[in-house]
Amino acid sequence: MSAWLYVTQVTVGNLVYRLGQLKYQKLDWLESDSDDQWIVVVVAAACGGTLVTLIIVIMVVYKRKSSRAQQQFTKLQVQLDALESNIRHECKQGIVINIVNLLTYLLITPDSHLKFWMNVFSY
């Protein structure tokens, strides 16, 4: 029994205080080989496994959501680029059509260029 008694002392600077003897107490359920010890170990392992599985599931769901959002963003960006390209093309066509109409009007009617510039600067 005296093997479990330890002398306890506290040292502060040069001063040493002896507090007495300290006895460590072992828990009975840790020393025994009963089924209770194994139940605690199995329950702890099951809880740990469940927690790890839950964390993995959450990470997989998060990864799927983020990749799906990235795919949608890329798809919308491609659609927006296509829309801008179509608008640019239509604007160029409209300008060409207006220039052709103006040149046709100026070339067909005599003195039309004078009428055109008079109409432009009359406002």
> What whole-number distance in Å separates Cα of residue 16 and Cα of residue 8?
10
112-121 and 35-108 helices, crossing angle to 10°: 120
Whole-number pLDDT of residue 114: 67
User: In this predicted model, what pLDDT tens digit does every residue of 52-96 receive, in sequence order?
Assistant: 999 999 999 999 999 999 999 999 999 999 999 999 999 999 888
**Residue given tokens 């990470």 in the structure block:** 59
Whole-number pLDDT of residue 100: 83
User: Is 0.75 topped by the overall pTM?
Assistant: no
Whole-number pLDDT of residue 56: 97
> What whole-number distance in Å separates Cα of residue 123 and Cα of residue 118?
9
Token pair in block for residue 105: 């009007």
| pLDDT at 32 > cutoff 70 | no
- Sorting pLDDT into bands at 50, 70 and 90, what band is 123? low
- Sorting pLDDT into bands at 50, 70 and 90, what band is 1? very low
